[in-house]
Structure 1
Amino acid sequence: MHRIFLLTLLTMFLSVPAMNTKVFGWERMARMAAVRPWHLPYYHPQARRPVSLVVPPNTAQTIYSWGVAGTQMRPTYHQYHRGPQNTITEHGNLSAPPRYPSSTRQMGIYYIRAPW
């Protein structure tokens, strides 16, 4: 019994460096983030620009909308990083959120994965 436990433990530790990032889905997230903007065309009313909310890297975002199947769980694709680029103006004009928004995605606050 003790021998089986040690062999299992040894196999587990030896397989950790061999893990690929494809297993965890990081490659898919990087690919999706490369083709999508990190924000929608709505700005936050007080900031007058889209606001990024940094969340832990393994969280999913919950989107509440009106209707029967209005709640969605989606992964957060974009990762926070510091850089000189300004990606807000690259995607066209921003508009104010609707007076009566139909989704939480229209509020001007968007999730960004933390780098840790």
Structure 2
Amino acid sequence: MSETKKYPAPVTNPETKPFWDAAAQGKLMIKRCTACGEPHYFPRSICPFCFSDQTVWEEASGEATIYTYSLMRKSPTGPYAIAYVTLKEGPSIQTNIVDCDIDKLKIGQKVKLVFKPTDGAPLPFFTVA
């Protein structure tokens, strides 16, 4: 099923500008710490694991698994699914699951990255793989 929802443009800042520039090219970026090796999301300069400032941008595959989700049935914009998905690279992301039958979602289900347009950079969401 196709959505015709209008999504708000993301608010950017100098620290997240590379993330949104990559999103405009259809890429999902995460950060990896070169000190401890851990990947993390949301993108930030300081590693949340070891507090090093030695982090680099890395493109994620866009492959993920549903860790948990919740169905919002009563909303001004209609029913939707909000979820945490675990990227193949390791970090978990809070997102919406779109363009699918939300009543058939399952924990552990494979999902893939999709971008939805806004008046600014596109927003990353996931759909059933």
Is TM (by shorter chain) over 0.5? Answer: no
Q: Which has the larger radius of gyration?
A: 1
Query: What is the TM-score normalised by the length of structure 2?
Result: 0.21
Query: What is the TM-score normalised by the length of structure 1?
Result: 0.22
Structure with greater proportional strand content: 2
Structure with greater proportional helix content: 1
